[in-house]
Chains A and B, each alone.
Chain A
Amino acid sequence: MIRLSAVDMAAQIASGQTSSVALTQAHLDRIASVDTDVHAFLFVDSQGALAQAAAVDAKRAAGEKLSPLAGVPLALKDVMTQKGVPTTAGSKILEGWRPPYDSTVVVNLKKNDIVILGKTNMDEFAMGSSTENSAYGPTHNPWDLTRIPGGSGGGSSAALAAFEAPLAIGTDTGGSIRQPAAVTGTVGVKPTYGGVSRFGLIAFSSSLDQAGPCARTVLDAALLHEAIAGHDPKDSTSINAPVPQVVKAAKSGDVKGMKIGVVKELNGDGYQSGVRTRFEESLELLAAAGAEIIEVSAPNFEYALAAYYLIAPSECSSNLARFDAMRYGLRIGDVNGASAESVMNLTREVGFGREVKRRIILGTYALSSGYYDAYYGSAQKVRTLITQDFNKAFEKCDVMVSPTCPTTAFKIGEKSNDPIAMYLNDIATIPVNMAGIGGMSLPSGLAPEDGLPVGFQIMAPAMQDQRMYLVGAALEAALLTKWGAPLLSQAPALAGK
């Protein structure tokens, strides 16, 4: 039952073939069995999940109309506030904090009767590409437990790949939904910036952060996308326009006559050979499905990574200033009349991990007087240039595509001491955040040399998210025909307890 798609689970609940309580319990059992190995979850809310599930079953029994995903369990990235449920953002500094309010995403999930199983592991404050920066220990990739599940949302993607949940919420600042999806053989979508409310999303970089759906199929992702998207007056950067019709697109999968632009700069040198093999194969399948494949160029993408590592740290240095031990979370050194300043210093010293400190220092420096124009100012200009590259390319094509990441999952610990190598993992995903447009990653097969999943990235213009789902559904269908079974059926069985 836990290997079904979310759509099929919802159908079984609606038809009475199973109940939400039974389905939720099955997932809780699976978590109890495999999560000691995977460590996808930071907190499992068995009681809350079962109560929510029972309420869905009661609604069904009463003959009430159910939403498309009613009763289906979901794993929530620990960066989203949920009332009364511990929320840490993967940091020691928030250990034990229980938010007094629901994020808008959680409000929407509850409204749609999607059952929240618990909170998933992540790089501290979403800073990282491997989930190794979590203060609570790394998450392991279900394909190979010695490897990283991607990051920052490694917990959410690993939960999907380990069948601990059929749906998950991620957040994507530079690739934190798409890169974990790629390396775990799952689907992850970063909607257009402003498409999903950020209210209750613990900010890393406000102008880049975007929550989105994670799932095992394109249609499941689309259904979750529609459940959480929409205008929110509590987020002034939220777009006040109708949600793109992504479910309709995912059901259609018709790419006849669509122009697909292959980004010249996001391929070739630095990309693992198996990644390129799978990418080329996917392009052939899309061409066979009726799409026209063309090449497009985005010359300024090469500056995206550098600009990102000025903008994101700058914003985070300010966003994370609120963690000062005064009102919530960790408090260190509050003894013998210590000053507020020394308590703040000690708490931040102890409460933040190395990568977080590295970025706060970087951002503080980049914003400081005399350096602002050279660093933050220039980075914003690069951002404009990247947006212009996208705009020009989208004059020639409907969507742009690339491999999601240059390599398959690397070993835990392999890049921990080399931040630049770690940052390079996001080279193909970052431009999308810089331009505020949508991006999707879906599995395109296994790299022949290591047998690990490879991701295929689809990028669409702002508020044209449905185009990613059209192309994603077409490719998914073609690959499924080729494979005969979903990619995840090839993943090794987890021993469990």
Chain B
Amino acid sequence: MALTYDDVIAKYEPVLGLEVHVELNTKSKMFCGCTTVFGGEPNTQTCPVCLALPGALPTVNEKAIESTIKIGLALNCSIAPFSRFARKNYFYPDMPKNFQISQYDEPICVNGYVDVEIETDEGPMVFRIEVERVHMEEDTGKSLHVGGATGRIHGAEYSLLDYNRAGIPLVEIVTKIVPGTGKYAPEVAKAYVAELRDILRSLGVSDVKMEQGSLRCDANVSLRLIGAETLGTRSETKNVNSLRSVERAIRGEMIRHAELLNKGERVVQETRHFQEDSGLTRSGRSKEQAEDYRYFPEPDLIPVAPDATWIETLRAGLPERPSIHRKRLQEAWAVPDKEMAAMINADVLNIVEATVNLGADPTKARSWWLGEISRIANDKDVAIADLTITPSDVAEIVALVNTGELTDKLARQVIEGVIAGEGKPAAVIAARGIKVVNDDGALMAAIEKVCAEQPETAEKIRNGHLPAAGALIGAVMKETKGQADAARVRTLLLSHLGQGE
């Protein structure tokens, strides 16, 4: 019989370890001048260096070092005055040199932490996640296994290689082991990755798009009996591609481990792959026999020895910490806790802020993004950020509503048009012929027509039964194809029927 999550946490304490890989958004690759733009034709963004042609040598991208130091500083790390690149040797066709240039025993940033806040049964609680190291490395190319059922290398008929991604700068952020999160382990992990993402975004060093792989999380989970000292055997779940998946993967692994342990079986130390559809993981590479990567210092690169004053300049230029920034916004906009949480959950805080910065009223901006636009994104099953509508579009629409040039109802049509790719708001308005009818003459004609068609309803209103007005206002709106200002219609209608103030 399957265990419930409550069964698991009643008996075991989870211990986490999180490794996050971040693709930096530098213009060029880590060790050569090739472009890093996402989605180019296969093998068009390559050169002798990133293809590992004989004789080619790497040179370090200074911007990548700067970004990594910024990340280290933002995560409260010490920056090593002297660090080195190392070669991690293993053969794989999508790795051109058959070694990865990484950092081993001399990483650039060490000993930091990130505080994350989550809602618990006892109210908001802060967990400190200690960061062991932040280091630089290069990404591999991509293999596409063709034929066979699973898209995996086994059973494939042939494989295609794309080296465009080979050499893209990666930063790996590794936590120390994280004990003491108890039943909140999945939420803490999710909040940690979310916080990292926000920090990285605020630093402007990465696109942090989990679905495109520019932020990837490997989650290590082990269980031990509550009160036990020694750690259990861990599994490492790879490439978890969304915040929600982080939470699901850890919860799933906790249950899987507990089932094994309860049956007296052992957990195998291995890599596992998260399955988005089932929420379960499947077995990958066994790590029982640790692979020997034969690390040694990269002789083609000189050590990285960042200047102390440069580090201090970077520290002084760090942006506001996202958690503090959020608190400040909440106060400035006077948003209730629940609404704030809704914005964070829906991942629209930055977009709303950008919209407000363009002059929109915070409440209006929030309600458009969280309401109509979120609904469309949900219907289309895409992330809000991936819709074509921008903060400046929404700010423009809010402004048009304020000046009375659009009604809320018309504004919805404009938003729909922008998202459908019909152009910017002005273009949509022009193309669809959207305009508020505020010509009283035209409205009066419609009111008279409607009253003539529904004399009994009109009579009720004349007699002071105001709720009946709704039906006639609706009919007038229909008559004017929704382009009239409903409030103006009401005023004119009531005064026409002798009920004006």
B158 near A337 with CB under 8 A, answer yes
Residue numbers of A with Cβ under 8 A of B are 80-81, 87, 89, 94, 97, 99-101, 103, 198-203, 205-207, 233-237, 314-315, 317-318, 321-324, 326-328, 337, 340-341, 344, 364, 367-369, 372, 376
With A318-B294, A344-B91 already in contact, the answer to whether A327 and B96 are too (CB < 8 A) is yes
B93 near A321 with CB under 8 A, answer no
> Min CB distance, B140 to chain A, in Å?
13
Q: Which residue of A lies closest to B89 (CB)?
A: A318
Bound state CA distance, A2 and B378, in angstroms? 81
> Min CB distance, A198 to chain B, in Å?
6
- CB < 8 Å neighbour of B55 from A200, A237, A324, A367: A200
Segment 452-489 of B: residues with Cβ below 8 Å from A: none
Bound state CA distance, A22 and B98, in angstroms? 47
Extra contacts, 13 of them, besides A315-B299, A369-B290 (Cβ < 8 A), are: A81-B53, A99-B53, A200-B55, A236-B60, A236-B301, A236-B302, A237-B300, A321-B99, A324-B91, A327-B96, A341-B91, A344-B91, A372-B295
Q: Which residue of A lies closest to B94 (CB)?
A: A326
B55 near A236 with CB under 8 A, answer no
B99 near A318 with CB under 8 A, answer yes
Q: Which residue of B lies closest to A365 (CB)?
A: B294
With A236-B58, A326-B93, A327-B96 already in contact, the answer to whether A100 and B53 are too (CB < 8 A) is yes
- CB < 8 Å neighbour of B294 from A198, A327, A368: A368
With an 8 A cutoff between CB atoms, is B357 at the interface?
no
> Min CB distance, A42 to chain B, in Å?
15
> Min CB distance, B422 to chain A, in Å?
46
- CB < 8 Å neighbour of A103 from B55, B58, B60, B97: B55
The binding surface of chain B is classed by DSSP as loop
Segment 103-149 of B: residues with Cβ below 8 Å from A: none
B292 near A368 with CB under 8 A, answer yes
By a CB distance below 8 angstroms, the chain B residues around A200 are: 55-56
With an 8 A cutoff between CB atoms, is B161 at the interface?
yes
By a CB distance below 8 angstroms, the chain A residues around B299 are: 205-207, 237, 315
With an 8 A cutoff between CB atoms, is B52 at the interface?
yes
Bound state CA distance, A94 and B55, in angstroms? 12
Bound state CA distance, A29 and B55, in angstroms? 31
> Min CB distance, B16 to chain A, in Å?
27
Q: Which residue of B lies closest to A348 (CB)?
A: B91
With an 8 A cutoff between CB atoms, is B363 at the interface?
no
B157 near A101 with CB under 8 A, answer no
> Min CB distance, A381 to chain B, in Å?
14
Bound state CA distance, A341 and B54, in angstroms? 20
> Min CB distance, A150 to chain B, in Å?
23
The binding surface of chain A is classed by DSSP as loop
B91 near A202 with CB under 8 A, answer no
> Min CB distance, B137 to chain A, in Å?
16
Bound state CA distance, A209 and B481, in angstroms? 81
Bound state CA distance, A101 and B97, in angstroms? 18
Q: Of residues B51, B57, B87, B158, which shows the largest number of chain A Cβ atoms within 10 Å of its Cβ?
A: B57
By a CB distance below 8 angstroms, the chain A residues around B53 are: 81, 99-101, 327-328
By a CB distance below 8 angstroms, the chain B residues around A344 are: 91, 93
- CB < 8 Å neighbour of B97 from A199, A237, A322: A322
By a CB distance below 8 angstroms, the chain B residues around A340 are: 93, 159
Segment 41-55 of B: residues with Cβ below 8 Å from A: 48, 51-55
With an 8 A cutoff between CB atoms, is B323 at the interface?
no
> Min CB distance, A471 to chain B, in Å?
30
Bound state CA distance, A103 and B299, in angstroms? 19
Bound state CA distance, A270 and B222, in angstroms? 62
Bound state CA distance, A327 and B89, in angstroms? 18
By a CB distance below 8 angstroms, the chain A residues around B91 are: 321, 324, 341, 344
By a CB distance below 8 angstroms, the chain B residues around A233 are: 59
A326 near B296 with CB under 8 A, answer no
> Min CB distance, B490 to chain A, in Å?
73
Bound state CA distance, A303 and B353, in angstroms? 67
- CB < 8 Å neighbour of B54 from A89, A236, A237, A369: A89
Bound state CA distance, A203 and B97, in angstroms? 12
